[in-house]
């Protein structure tokens, strides 16, 4: 029983370390700025869809989308 419990603790520790070290070569460029930009773009799109696709919200969405893609490309 103790061996099984130690194995569980080791597995938990490995998962914690994996969560902390998820940054790999493929996604090093994806930082907080990218996350924030995409979140803002999604909020603008949701606002545009909820408010009945008004022109002001559409322009805001397209502006946020353009900014997000610019940040991600650089």
Q: What is the 3-state secondary structure (H, E, C) of the chain?
A: CHHHHHHHHHHHHHHHHHHHCCCCHHHCCCCHHHHHHHHHHHHHHHHHHHCCCCHHHHHHHHHHHHHHHHHHHC
Residue 19 belongs to a domain:
no
Count of the separate structural domains present in the chain: 1
Collect contacts of 57-60 with beta carbons under 8 A, ≥24 apart. none
Residue 73 belongs to a domain:
yes
Residue 62 belongs to a domain:
yes
Q: How confident is the model at residue 4 (pLDDT cuts 50, 70, 90)?
A: very low
Euclidean distance between CA atoms 28 and 35, whole angstroms: 12
Residue 51 belongs to a domain:
yes
pLDDT at 37 over 50: yes
Residue 61 belongs to a domain:
yes
Q: Note down the domain range covering 42.
A: 32-74
Residue 56 belongs to a domain:
yes
Residue 23 belongs to a domain:
no
Confirm if 38 and 54 have CB atoms less than 8 A apart: no
Q: How confident is the model at residue 8 (pLDDT cuts 50, 70, 90)?
A: low
């Amino acid at each position: 029983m103790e061996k099984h419990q130690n194995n569980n603790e080791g597995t938990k520790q490995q998962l914690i370390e994996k969560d902390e070290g998820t940054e790999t070569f493929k996604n090093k460029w994806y930082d907080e700025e990218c996350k924030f930009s995409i979140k803002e773009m999604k909020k603008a799109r949701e606002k545009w869809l909820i408010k009945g696709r008004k022109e002001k919200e559409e322009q805001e969405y397209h502006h946020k989308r353009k900014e997000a893609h610019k940040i991600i490309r650089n």
